[in-house]
Structure formats: C-alpha cells, structure tokens
Amino acid sequence: MNDILVWFQNPGLTHVLLISAALFMLGTYAILTRRNAIMVLMGIELVLNAAGLNFVAFGRYAVGTFDGQVITLFIIVLAAAEAAIALAIVLNIYQNFHTVNVDEINRLKD
C-alpha cells in the first residue's frame, strides 16, 4: 500500500508514459470511430501529441539529452504540414461530395 502511495507521490517517466498511452488510445478511438473527417483529424493530432510527449519524457527522465525535444519540434512541424494538407483535402472533398463524413465517401468501393 505504501509502495503505491510513494509511486503516486513521485511522478516520473512511467506516469508520463501512461498518460501519453491513454492519450494515444483516445486518439486512435477518435480516428476509428468518428464520421466527420475533421474529427478524425483531431484524433490524429492527439496521437501525434502523445508521441511528442513520449519523446520529451524520455529525453527528460531516461536519456538526459535534448534530442527528444528536437524530435518533438519536428513532430510539431510535421503536424502543421499534415493539418494544412489534410484540411485542404477535406475542403476539396466537401466541394465535390458536399459532405465530410468519411463513411459516405466510398466511391472507390463500387
């Protein structure tokens, strides 16, 4: 019992990893279930943020260098590019299909 209390009182690497794992799960769930393409995009952002959190946490607690932070910055840059492109695609889809629901855009199925 005391061990658990000590564990809770000293937030460290494992805590951050667990939080980011939960964030990753939530993001995946959003990607898999949401019908609106923009909601899917938000799920992707959550997943990317979970990854960035992991990098910084490893850099802080396990490795002790700044490489993790640099990688996280790259992730943020990539996320920006990705969001721009994805939203452009969503707008284009909206113009063509008049919907952004990913389950209705299945023309390739036929």
Partner 1 sequence: MNPETLLSLSLATLLLPLASFVILIFFSRRFPRQGDWLGTAIAFTALATALAIAITKLTAFHDEVIQANLPWVDFGNVPGVGPLTIQLGIMVDNLSAIMLVVVMIVSSLVHLFSIGYMQGDVRYGRYFAYLGIFTFSMLGIVLTNNFFMMYVSWELVGLSSYLLIGHWFEKRSASDAAKKAFIVNRVGDVGMFIGILILYATYHTFTFDPIFAAIRAGQIPMGSEAWLTAAGILVFCGAVGKSAQFPLHVWLPDAMEGPTPVSALIHAATMVAAGVYLVTRTFAMLTADALMFIAYIGAATAFIAATIAIAQNDIKKVLAYSTVSQLGYMVMGLGVGAYTAGFFHLSTHAMFKAGLFLGSGSVIHAMHHALHHAHDHHTDPQDIRNMGGLRTKMPVTFWTFLIYTLAISGIPLTSGFLSKDEILAGTLAFGDLTGHAIIPIVAFFVAGLTAFYMFRLVILTFFGKPADEHRLAAIHESPKVMTVPLIVFAALSVFAVWTGSFNPFSAEGWFTEAMPRPETVVPASAAAATNEVWAETSHHVHGPAMVLSLIMASTGIVLAFVVFYWKRINADAVVARLKPLHTFLVNKWYFDELYDATVINGTLAVTRAYRWFDETVVDGIVNGVARWTMGVTLGKNDAWEGGTFGSIAYLLVTGLVSVYAGWVLASSLAPADPTFGQLLWYGLLGLGTAGLSFFMFYVGVGGFDNTIVDGLVNLVATFAGFTGIVTRRIQTGKVQTYLAFVLLGVMVFFLWFN
Partner 2 sequence: MDLYTISFYMFAVLLLGSAIVVVFSRNIVRAAFALMITLLSIAAFYVLMMADFVGIVQLLLYVGGILVLILFGVMLTNRQISVDIREGAIQTIPAVIVTSTIGGILAGAIWSTAWPMREAARSVAATAPVIGEMFLTTYLLPFEVASVLLLVALVGAALIARRERKS
Site for partner 1 in 20-79 (CB under 8 A): 28, 31-33, 40
CB of 102 vs partner 2, minimal distance in Å = 9
Map residue 101 onto helix, strand or coil: strand
Could you tell me where the DSSP H helices lie in 35-110? 37-57, 67-97
Indicate the DSSP class of residue 66. S
Nearer to partner 2, 2 or 95 (CB): 95
* Burial group, residue 18, by CB count within 10 angstroms (0-12, 13-18, 19+): exposed
Q: Which stretch binds partner 1 (CB under 8 A): 52-60, 61-69, 73-81, 101-109?
A: 101-109
Nearer to partner 1, 34 or 60 (CB): 34
User: What's the Cα-to-Cα distance from 102 to each of 6, 27, 28, 91, 96, rounded to whole Å?
Assistant: 46, 16, 15, 13, 13
Query: Token pair for residue 95?
Result: 């113009």
Using CB under 8 A as the binding rule, whether residue 51 contacts partner 2 is answered as no
Using CB under 8 A as the binding rule, whether residue 104 contacts partner 2 is answered as no
CB of 52 vs partner 1, minimal distance in Å = 20
Using CB under 8 A as the binding rule, whether residue 3 contacts partner 1 is answered as no
Using CB under 8 A as the binding rule, whether residue 67 contacts partner 2 is answered as yes
